Amino acid sequence: MNKRLLILMLALLLLSGCTAPSRKTETIDIKAVYLAMEKTGALPDMTAVPEGMLLDFYGIDPAWCAEALCMVSADSLLADEVVLIRARDEAAAKRILPFLEGRMQAKAEEAQNYSPEQYAIIKQGQILSRGVEMALIVSPQVSRLVKLYQGE
Amino acid sequence: MKRLLCFWFACLLAAACLPAGAESLTFEGTVFVGDSIMQQIGRYRLEQTQRGNPILEGARFLAISSYSLSQGSRVTPDENKPALMLRGSRVSLPEGLRILEAKRAFVMLGMNDEAGARLNPQLNQYRRLIERVLNRNPGLELVALSVTPIAKRAQTKNLNQANFNAFNTALEALCQELGVIYLDVATPLMDEEGFLRPEFSSDNRVHLSKEGMEAFVKTIEAFALASVE
């Protein structure tokens, strides 16, 4: 009996060890993720949109954010942009998401006739949202940066 | 003791020689409005501030790359064209300045309209812009900026320095008529022939290099300092 119980417990331990860690349950280390994105060399020189400008620039109230890192290209002629946000809670996340979508749409409208090259990059841009974690990523290498964000 | 006294008097004298407004130059309440060139200035300001070299402190920017004089002159933005974005919403220029409670606005528009190629309609649009902005923002100090120069080899039939010069001259006259300040930001950026200096250009067309942006900011700061004194 003890042997069977032991085997059962070992089997259970083995099974739990096989489950891949889920990004869903982890808190994203926003700074670390952005640092990893920088290290790829995929981004041009970027500059931060300070917290005091979040409202004017994005329409996002800083009070909705537990943490936010908003980076735009230092060269305003390039569309590259990385916005990584952890909302305070799910309700705040629901308020933030439309503003990220609006930002993406506005970027596209601005570039459509002005810079077809940047417009094409923006159209491939992605907005990601899972629980309180959300991101807007625009880059010629968006897939690579999205994978980093998703912990792949 | 005598040396200490002399030193104190020297310090007092030096302090008295400082321009009156040097320590109080601020751009709080100032909004810069424009197109891709003004957007460059705004981004440059962010970058410099983060590098520990704050410039145009307190200034805010309302600029998108494709912003036009025609769009800026409208009471409500044309829904089929890019508009200024503020707090997640499309806004007209007069309304954007009102929301930001602007006390002073520097406006630089016309490049995306091929300034000077259709001079009369463009000046009529600028007149409407000024009137509508001031109507919505009574007491606002509006400063109309000249369009900046183009690189010599980048000129086209409609986008050329002769047209820009005609536009700027006409804009200056319009400002005088309407009692609005006109500021020439073009001349400090020009070479001997009157085109955008190569070292001030980032793309050999109209956009500014870091040196060009630095020169632009210096012109603005000199104006602001003169206003304080």
Note the pLDDT tens digit of each residue in B3-45: 666 555 544 554 444 444 444 588 999 999 999 999 999 999 9
Residue numbers in chain A where pLDDT is lower than 70:
1, 6-26
Instruction: Measure the CA–CA gap between B29 and B12, rounded to whole angstroms.
Output: 32
Instruction: Measure the CA–CA gap between B201 and B196, rounded to whole angstroms.
Output: 7
Instruction: Measure the CA–CA gap between B105 and B220, rounded to whole angstroms.
Output: 12
The continuous run of DSSP H or E covering B183 comes out as strand B181-183
Q: For all residues of chain B together, what is the average pLDDT?
A: 92
Q: Which residues of B touch A (CB under 8 A)?
A: 36, 39-40, 42-43, 46-47, 50, 60, 64-66, 82, 85-90, 100, 112, 203, 207
Q: In 3-state terms, what secondary structure has residue B222?
A: helix
Written as one letter, the residue type at A151 is G
Would you tell me which residues 89-148 of chain A have a C-beta closer than 8 angstroms to some C-beta of chain B?
98-99, 102-103, 106, 109-115
Neighbours of A71 (CB within 10 A): 18
CA B141-B215-B227 angle, to 5 degrees, is: 30
- How far A148 CA sits from the closest chain B CA (Å)? 25
Residue B86 with chain A: CB contacts under 8 Å: 56
Neighbours of B40 (CB within 10 A): 25
pTM over 0.90: no
**Selection from A80, A91, A83, A73 nearest residue A131 by Cα:** A91
What domains can be seen in chain B, in order of their start residue?
Answer: 20-228 (3.40.50.1110)
The pLDDT, as a whole number, for residue B25 is: 80
The pLDDT, as a whole number, for residue A139 is: 98
**For residue A126, with 0-12 CB atoms within 10 Å meaning exposed, 13-18 middle and 19 or more buried, which class applies?**
middle
Chain-chain contact of A109 with B40 (C-beta, under 8 angstroms): no
The pLDDT, as a whole number, for residue A8 is: 66
In tens, the pLDDT along B112-151 reads 999 999 999 999 999 999 999 999 999 999 999 999 999 9
Residue B180, pLDDT above cutoff 60: yes
Q: Which of B88, B90, B203 sits opposite A58 (nearest CB)?
A: B88
Cβ pair A135, A14 in contact under 8 A:
no
Best A47, A64, A113 member to test B by mutation, with max B CBs in 10 Å, is A47
Give φ, ψ of B201 to 5 degrees: -105, 140
ipTM over 0.90: no
Phi-psi region of B54 (alpha: psi -120 to 50; beta: other; left: phi over 0): beta
With a CB cutoff of 8 Å and minimum separation 6, the contacts of B174 are: B123, B126, B127, B130, B144, B180
Q: In 3-state terms, what secondary structure has residue B205?
A: coil
